[in-house]
Amino acid sequence: MSKKLTTETGQPWADNQHSQTAGSRGPVLMQDYDLLEKLAHFDRERIPERVVHAKGAGAKGEFVLENDMSKYTKADLFNGSGKKTPLIMRFSQVAGEKGYPDTVRDVRGFSVKFYTQKGNYDIVGNNTPVFFVNDPLKFPDFIHSQKRDPKTNRRTQTMQWDFWSHSPESLHQVTYLMGDRGLPTSYREMNGYGSHTFKWVNKNGEQFWIKYHLKSDQGVVNMTNDAAEKISGKDTDFLQNDLFDAIDNENYPSWTMYVQILPYEEGLHYKWDIFDVTKTVSHKDYPLIKVGKLTLNENPSNNFTDVEEAAFSPANLIPGIEASPDKLLQGRLFSYKDTQRYRLGVNFEDLPINKPINEVHNYERDGSMKINNQGSEVNYEPNSFDGPKETLAASVTPVDLEGHSGNQPYNYKVDYTTQAGDLYRLFTDDEKDRLIETIKDCLLQVDSQEIKTLEIKQMYKADPEYGSRVAKALNLNIDEILSTEY
């Protein structure tokens, strides 16, 4: 038996083909509330797209813990080998709008929401282990440089290279982006990283610094500039479609989660600042430890409610997992939920895709589109009516702080070129050739000599061959570049 057409409030809908009119030729009657409701809803079908990571794709699945990590963390999903936790993952592009081709060179977002027994836990990362900036004050400016020129409304190489050349901390990430990993062949064939350093705490209160690595079990596969350009002209949703079709054909993609674990005091005195997100921690110093496997086995039943309305935030932490002093992470703890309140409304966490699987009890009430208003439960505290009580065991573990207040940069072993040079030297000869060619194609579109000079000098400091090759590719004299001051 076919379903009966109804209004949003359940009344039967008599005619969905013809408006009510005064005579067969019209005009339309204002009393046709079905028409007015349909048009009013249609007018509001598009929520504001994400400021960044607007275009993306996602799917549901599960995480299976393969190595009990209770020695390091009391976090629910990492305790008890074999434990299964449902999840949703979303992959995305950083800069492009929702209609932009998803094969354009860009960093890819890599976000996971775990529905644990102790609340939702989100890892909101990228397919690179570092980022362009390490201070949240610079983040809006960075994103503006990746978006559109306010006069021409074009995305320009000048804007982004201008920002990068005046932000030396960006070089490590720029080298990743301009290299092969800037063009993944599919979402299935790229790694994911938490990027920031986080803190794990076990049931005894012992603290450890950790970094997340999610390695693709399909391997890492990238495409060339020519291939990406051809595909973007044929299918602007290539990466999205690949993910959906793979899962639809029961070719379920998976990632193995690893962590690097640094003892608390050792981490504070490591050779690099582990709270600077432009830096990595050497695998030789702290090898990867296997944790478990994430598998995607269910496509969205409705892309809007399952993917567009999905709201991720690094502030979604559970007992046993805490934030580090990382400045950029600290800014993200506020910004991510705040942008969701703008995009989806103040009660976005009531939406089914964002609801935790455990019960919610607090003193937050009302607001637009509130779904779970907690009935007749008392809505203030303190109270004498047995309202929700604090869970002291969930308290954040204290961190010792030192120094003075004020606007100040990182000052612990500041060096923004060595790791970029290390990355360059890890590339094969073919990878280096493609990196130089990509940078050349980009910088040829930049007229400013200052921008080119500043960027090449940074590359030269990272590795003389790196800077010299870029200069040669642009028909510039490296000696003149190195002697020029701005």
Per the structure block, which two tokens stand in for 100?
């932009």
Active site (annotated) includes residue 144: no
Beta strands 192-193 and 207-216: pairing type? Answer: antiparallel
**Dist CA 195 CA 277 (whole Å):** 6
Beta strands 289-298 and 254-263: pairing type? Answer: antiparallel
Catalytic residue among 16, 67, 126, 299: 126
- Residue 10: how many other CB atoms lie within 10 Å: 7
**Dist CA 163 CA 166 (whole Å):** 5
Per the structure block, which two tokens stand in for 150?
């306010």
First CA to last CA across the chain, in angstroms? 76
Q: Is the dihedral of CA 334, 127, 459, 160 positive or negative?
A: negative
Closest CA to 324 of 336, 311, 314: 314
**Dist CA 476 CA 471 (whole Å):** 5
3-state secondary structure at position 17: coil
| DSSP tag of 305 | I
For 475: left if phi > 0, alpha if psi spans -120 to 50, otherwise beta; the answer is left
Residue 116: strand pairing partners? 119
**Dist CA 287 CA 197 (whole Å):** 15
Per the structure block, which two tokens stand in for 103?
């094969």
CA distances from 93 to 105, 125, 138, 310 (A): 9, 12, 19, 16
Catalytic residue among 16, 18, 41, 53: 53
Say which residues have a Cβ less than 8 Å from residue 54's Cβ, sequence separation at least 6. Answer: 92, 93, 96, 97, 98, 100
Return the half-sphere exposure (C-beta side, CA atoms, 13 A cut-off) of residue 115: 18
Active site (annotated) includes residue 53: yes
CA distances from 57 to 97, 309, 322 (A): 13, 12, 28
Closest CA to 98 of 44, 53, 155, 157: 53
Q: Which residues are catalytic?
A: 53, 126
